[in-house]
């Protein structure tokens, strides 16, 4: 009887050790940064859902600015003829830069999915480089306008121009900073799912620019 009892205890002990070992392995894998985050009842990863909520709020901000711009434009507010004074070439170049950076963050995510850490890290920094080029071009545009005597208070058009592009530039800077932080996690093979999340944010930044470019640089429609 005692032998049977001891054997049962030994089996229970072994099963407990196996369960603890499995929990340890699962925890270790989660700390290494699984490519998919924990899912809620909706089936949507929690991180992705959070980013979508943030982007939804941003749509109201930029959407409100664009709608106000169009209302003033179609009501023939003075100053909108100054769209001819913006550099269409600079705006088009920046559009190309942002679209290229969108491709590179997609490649970074694809590399992370495949476990190619070096490629993912490299593509993230290529995206950051694209953001830096974009900001340098915007700095050149701002400085040329300000030195030419054009400021935020010049007229309605320039108020919208500086406000919308300045707010967009702040989002570009924020995205670059977050990407830089994520890249060092990626290099350590941690939190790989965040590459997808910052990619969603960066695509949003690019889409906003695609709306801003035609109305601010070729607004004489």
Among the listed residues 23, 56, 29, 32, the one whose alpha carbon sits nearest the alpha carbon of residue 194: 32
Whole-number Å distance between alpha carbons of 37 and 189: 15
Q: What is the pLDDT of residue 12?
A: 47
Residue 154 domain-assigned? Answer: yes
Whole-number Å distance between alpha carbons of 134 and 92: 11
Instruction: For residue 213, give its domain range.
Output: 46-217
pTM > 0.85: yes or no? no
Q: What is the pLDDT of residue 79?
A: 80
Residue 21 domain-assigned? Answer: no
Residue 20 domain-assigned? Answer: no
**pLDDT under 70 in the chain at which residues?**
1-49, 219-221
Look over the chain and give the mean of its residue pLDDT values, rounded to a whole number.
80
Q: What is the pLDDT of residue 33?
A: 45
Among the listed residues 183, 196, 160, 203, the one whose alpha carbon sits nearest the alpha carbon of residue 58: 203
Residue 104 domain-assigned? Answer: yes
**The two structure tokens encoding residue 153:** 């208070």
Residue 2 domain-assigned? Answer: no
Q: What is the pLDDT of residue 155?
A: 85
Cβ count within 10 A of residue 141 = 18
pLDDT tens track for 6-59? 444 444 444 454 454 554 454 444 444 444 445 555 566 666 667 777 778 888
Q: What is the pLDDT of residue 80?
A: 80
In this structure, are residues 146 and 201 in contact, taking their beta carbons and an 8 Å threshold?
Answer: no
Domain CATH number, residue 183: 1.20.120.80
Q: What is the pLDDT of residue 157?
A: 87
Q: How many domains does the chain have?
A: 1
Residue 51 domain-assigned? Answer: yes
Residue 116 domain-assigned? Answer: yes
Residue 27 domain-assigned? Answer: no
Q: Got the DSSP string for 9-56?
A: HHHHHHHHHHHHHHHHHHHHHHHT--SSPPB-TTSSBHHHHHHHHHHH
């Amino acid at each position: 009887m005692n032998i049977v009892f001891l054997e049962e205890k030994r089996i229970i002990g072994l099963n407990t050790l196996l369960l603890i070992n499995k929990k340890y392995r699962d925890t270790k894998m989660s700390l290494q940064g699984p490519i998919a985050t924990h899912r809620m009842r909706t089936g949507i990863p929690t991180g992705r859902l959070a980013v979508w909520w943030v982007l939804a709020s941003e749509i109201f901000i930029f959407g409100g600015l664009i709608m106000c711009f169009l209302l003033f434009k179609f009501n023939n507010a003075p100053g909108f003829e100054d769209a001819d004074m913006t550099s269409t070439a600079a705006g088009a170049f920046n559009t190309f830069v942002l679209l290229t950076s969108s491709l590179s963050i997609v490649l970074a995510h694809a590399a992370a999915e495949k476990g190619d850490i070096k490629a993912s890290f490299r593509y993230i920094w290529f995206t950051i480089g694209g953001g830096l080029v974009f900001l340098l071009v915007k700095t050149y545009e701002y400085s040329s306008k300000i030195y030419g005597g054009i400021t935020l208070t010049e007229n309605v058009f320039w108020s919208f121009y500086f406000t919308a592009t300045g707010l967009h530039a702040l989002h570009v800077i924020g995205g670059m900073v977050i990407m830089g932080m994520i890249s060092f996690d990626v290099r350590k093979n941690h939190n790989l799912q965040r590459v997808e999340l910052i990619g969603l944010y960066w695509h949003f930044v690019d889409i906003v620019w695609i709306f801003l470019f035609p109305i601010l640089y070729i607004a004489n429609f």
